[in-house]
Amino acid sequence: MSMTTPLTRRKTPPSNRASAVAEPHRQSLLGELLRDVEDYLEPNEVGVIQRACAFGAQVHAGQQRHSGGPYIDHPLAVAAILANMRLDSHSVTAAILHDVIEDTPVVLDELASEFGHDIAQLVDGVSKIGRIEFDSREHAEAENFRKMLLAMSKDIRVILIKLADRLHNMRTLDSLSHDRRKRISQQTLDIYAPIANRLGMHVWTRELEDLSFRQLYPKRYNAIRKELDKRRGNHTKIIESTRRKISTELKAVGIESTVVGREKNIYSVYRKMQARRVPMSKDAGHLCNSCHCWHSRPVLSRPWGYP
């Protein structure tokens, strides 16, 4: 492991033209974020988030991402990811401020004075994780590193903010050099996607895996994606038909259920192909209640002949 910052920030001031182009995009990000939080947070909490947006824009002024866009766009996007998950106001606020300690002159005490101890501690926790970069691909070391990250974060919200940060970084990775994209993608696949999966953040897990796989093995990614695209229409019909049949059968025997069907993500298909040396295969759904699972088994056996 080494103590480095995964994604550097350029501190050259943007040109007037770049600022003019970026401003509508930033206002769009801000508007989307505020609309999301207004749906479920109290007005005073939304006010703190607005204040954090203004504070972040001020202290990150002049900083750019490698894409050339204003750096503040990144924390706003991270906050929007968390708001979409309806996380609490402190998590969303800390997401907006998550790089302030690391990349600006602002210190922890100042942040605590401005936004409170809880938000400052969340930002500090994310900053500590951000200083560590995992270099090894050895499975045992990767597992130890995942355990260390979880142990370091006494508050699970720190991990959620870091995962959202990594997710947005992966979505916007193309402006980096080839070597850095590969390194960050491997780290994401080894460390962050498994943590997301362990926490039950399966939507994030699948996206992190697919984004990493696309960077690491673009030809394999495109081949599988093309095959899935060809089959998607038929698979969607089969999944929906099967879902309805299962729901009907379970309801007939008095089991209330929510049956959800989905196609495997691209990386999951690739892993199954590698493990079984077979082409595409369908995914099986799952039921939550263990007692109902056992009672559901004979119901499911009838139409599909499961043993």
CATH number at residue 87: 1.10.3210.10
222 assigned to some structural domain? no
Clarify whether residues 247 and 138 are in a common domain.
no
Task: Band the pLDDT of 258: cuts 50, 70, 90.
Answer: confident
Rounded Cα distance, 211 and 173, in Å: 9
Can you give the pLDDT at residue 88? 98
| Pair 32, 166 in one domain | yes
| Residues 23 and 139 occupy one common structural domain | yes
The stretch 160-187 carries a mean pLDDT of 96
Q: Indicate whether 226 belongs to any domain.
A: no
| 138 pLDDT higher than 80 | no
User: Which is more confidently placed, 265 or 281?
Assistant: 265
Residue 19 lies in a domain: yes
State both tokens at 291: 């007692």
In a shared domain, residues 210 and 245: no
Per-residue pLDDT, 283: 40
Which one of 36, 73, 99, 103 is the catalytic residue? Answer: 103
In a domain, 230, yes or no: no
Same domain, yes or no: 194 and 251: no
Q: Could you list the residue range(s) of the whole structural domain that residue 146 is in?
A: 2-216
pLDDT at site 75: 98
The catalytic position among 102, 155, 227, 263 is: 102
- Our answer to whether residue 102 is catalytic in this structure is yes
Task: Write down the pTM of the prediction.
Answer: 0.77
Cα–Cα distance, 79 to 157 (Å, whole number): 12
Are residues 52 and 154 located together in one domain of the fold?
yes
User: Where would I find the H helices in 131-201?
Assistant: 139-152, 156-171, 178-187, 193-198
pLDDT at 293 over 80: no
- pLDDT tens by residue, 216-254: 999 999 999 998 888 776 667 777 778 788 888 888 888
Q: 10 Å Cβ neighbour count for 301?
A: 11
Q: Report how far residue 33's alpha carbon sits from residue 35's, in angstroms, rounded to the nearest whole number.
A: 5
Mark whether 157 and 282 lie in a shared domain: no
| Residue among 131, 83, 92 nearest 115 (CA) | 92
When divided into structural domains, the chain yields a total of 2
* 285 and 157 part of one domain: no
Task: Find the mean pLDDT for residues 84-112.
Answer: 97
